[in-house]
A and B are shown apart, each in its own frame.
Chain A
Amino acid sequence: AQTVTQSQPEMSVQEAETVTLSCTYDTSESDYYLFWYKQPPSRQMILVIRQEAYKQQNATENRFSVNFQKAAKSFSLKISDSQLGDAAMYFCAYRTVQGAQKLVFGQGTRLTINP
């Protein structure tokens, strides 16, 4: 079964600095999608960024970018110029097609922004 691992339960960064959240996954599939979701204190789940595995180019959305290393099965999220509003729980997710189609989520990383 596919698994997603976020090895950093908590991270903190100074406002305006850059932080990288790590995510690794285990799969035997060759074509898949990866996602990062943000969950602020309001607990709403918000899609931050999406990566298609067959694309070499790393996805970017404004201050958010990923470092996708397919061979290493690694999908880290980089947040540049961190802002207080970036404080949240971040979840990495993998879309599986084997068995049931679903998103498999990691354990989450709680990000704190220090002013």
Chain B
Amino acid sequence: EAQVTQNPRYLITVTGKKLTVTCSQNMNHEYMSWYRQDPGLGLRQIYYSMNVEVTDKGDVPEGYKVSRKEKRNFPLILESPSPNQTSLYFCASSLSVNLDYGYTFGSGTRLTVV
């Protein structure tokens, strides 16, 4: 089944403890991106990648890192999480970097930082 797989689905962590949220797609998509969803703010882009080894900042990149060493994987790294990073996170991918058909989304990761 063609899909974007995100793990974990839920995560509770403490301030300052490094964590990684994994994202993998099996559709040979060129474009991948991370968003965070907060009430009243919709979805905001954190980082995106248009190809292997090519990543760039979105609108809210502070406190996050990403890497794209393989086409299928695009992990999101929080080096020192803080409570303001408590949010619902989505990984998204697209076959074309033109995004003419929008995104295919993962099932989301609910992160709580205490």
Instruction: Write the residues of chain A forming the contact surface with B, with a CB cutoff of 8 angstroms.
Output: 4, 6, 9, 33, 35, 37, 42-45, 47, 50, 91, 93, 95, 100-103, 105-108
Q: Are A100 and B48 in contact (CB under 8 A)?
A: yes
Within 85-114 of B, Cβ neighbours of A (below 8 Å) are at 88, 90, 92, 97-103, 105, 107-108
Looking at the assembled complex, report how far the CB atom of B17 sits from the nearest CB atom of chain A, in whole angstroms.
24
Q: Contact check, B58 vs A102: say whether CB atoms are below 8 A apart.
A: yes
Q: What is the size category of the interface that chain B forms with chain A?
A: 20 to 34
Which residues on the B side are within 8 Å of A4 (C-beta)? 42
Chain B residues with CB under 8 A of A101: 31, 50, 97-99
Listed A/B pairs (30) with beta-carbon separation below 8 Å: A33-B100, A33-B102, A37-B102, A43-B107, A43-B108, A44-B105, A44-B107, A44-B108, A45-B90, A45-B92, A45-B103, A91-B42, A93-B102, A95-B99, A95-B100, A95-B102, A100-B45, A100-B48, A100-B56, A101-B50, A101-B99, A102-B45, A102-B48, A102-B99, A103-B102, A103-B103, A105-B42, A105-B43, A105-B44, A107-B41
Hey, which chain A residues are within 8 Å of B101, CB to CB?
A: 47, 50
Cβ B102 vs Cβ A50 within 8 A: yes
CA distance A91 to B39 in the complex (A): 12
Residues on B with C-beta less than 8 A from A105 are: 35, 42-44
A44 contacts across to B, CB distance below 8 A? 105, 107-108
Q: Which residues of A contact B41 (CB under 8 A)?
A: 107
Q: Which residues of B contact A50 (CB under 8 A)?
A: 101-102
Asked whether B33 is an interface residue with its Cβ less than 8 Å from the other chain, the reply is yes
Complex CA gap A105/B58 in Å reads: 13
* Distance of A95 Cα from B44 Cα, bound (Å): 13
Tell me the complex Cα distance, A95–B102, Å.
8
Name 14 extra pairs, CB < 8 A, besides A91-B42, A103-B102, A105-B35: A6-B42, A33-B99, A33-B100, A37-B102, A45-B103, A47-B101, A47-B102, A101-B31, A102-B33, A102-B58, A105-B43, A107-B41, A107-B42, A108-B42
